Amino acid sequence: MSDHNESSGDVDIAANLATIQHNIDEAAAAVNRQSADITLVCVSKTHDAAHVRGALEAGRRVFGENRVQEAAEKWPGLKQDFSDVELHLIGPLQSNKAREAMRLFDVIETLDRPKLARTFARLRDETGHCPELYIQINIGQEPQKAGIDPADADAFIRECIEDLALPITGLMCIPPVDEEPAPHFALLGKIADRHGLKVRSMGMSGDYECAIRMGATHVRVGTAIFGHRAYNIGENA
Ligand SMILES: *Cc1c(COP(=O)(O)O)cnc(C)c1O
Q: How far is the CA of 44 from the centre of ligand 1 (A)?
A: 9
In this prediction, residue 136 carries a pLDDT of 98
Q: Cα(first)–Cα(last) distance of the chain, in Å? A: 7
From 93, 139, 140, 100, select the one nearest 117 (Cα to Cα): 93
Tens of pLDDT, residues 184-203: 999 999 999 999 999 999 99
Tens of pLDDT, residues 18-42: 999 999 999 999 999 999 999 999 9
Please name the residue whose Cα sits nearest to atom 15 of ligand 1.
Answer: 233
Tell me how many degrees the CA angle 181-186-187 measures, rounded to the nearest 5: 100
Judge contact between 227 and 11, C-beta under 8 A: yes
Q: What ranges do the domains of the chain cover? A: 13-226
Please name the residue whose Cα sits nearest to atom 2 of ligand 1.
Answer: 233
Domain 13-226 belongs in CATH node 3.10.20.30: no
Q: How far is the CA of 123 from the centre of ligand 1 (A)?
A: 28
Q: Facing residues of 219 across strands?
A: 40
- Give dist(CA 230, CA 3) in Å, integer: 8
Mutate to test the pocket of ligand 1, among 7, 233, 235 (most ligand atoms within 8 A of CB): 233
The confidence band for 6, taking pLDDT boundaries of 50, 70 and 90, is very low
Amino acid at 91: G
Q: How far is the CA of 201 from the centre of ligand 1 (A)?
A: 11
- Give dist(CA 90, CA 92) in Å, integer: 7
Phi–psi pair at 233, nearest 5 degrees: -55, 135
Atom of ligand 1 nearest to the CA of 208: 9
Mutate to test the pocket of ligand 1, among 111, 145, 185, 204 (most ligand atoms within 8 A of CB): 204
pTM (2 d.p.)? 0.94
Q: How far apart, in Å, are the Cα atoms of 224 and each of 7, 75, 131, 159, 237? A: 12, 21, 27, 37, 21
- Give dist(CA 213, CA 133) in Å, integer: 23
The confidence band for 2, taking pLDDT boundaries of 50, 70 and 90, is very low
In this prediction, residue 3 carries a pLDDT of 42
Please name the residue whose Cα sits nearest to atom 12 of ligand 1.
Answer: 90
- Give dist(CA 125, CA 99) in Å, integer: 12
Determine the distance from the C-alpha atom of residue 208 to the mean position of all C-alpha atoms in its chain, rounded to a whole number: 12
Q: How far is the CA of 232 from the centre of ligand 1 (A)?
A: 9
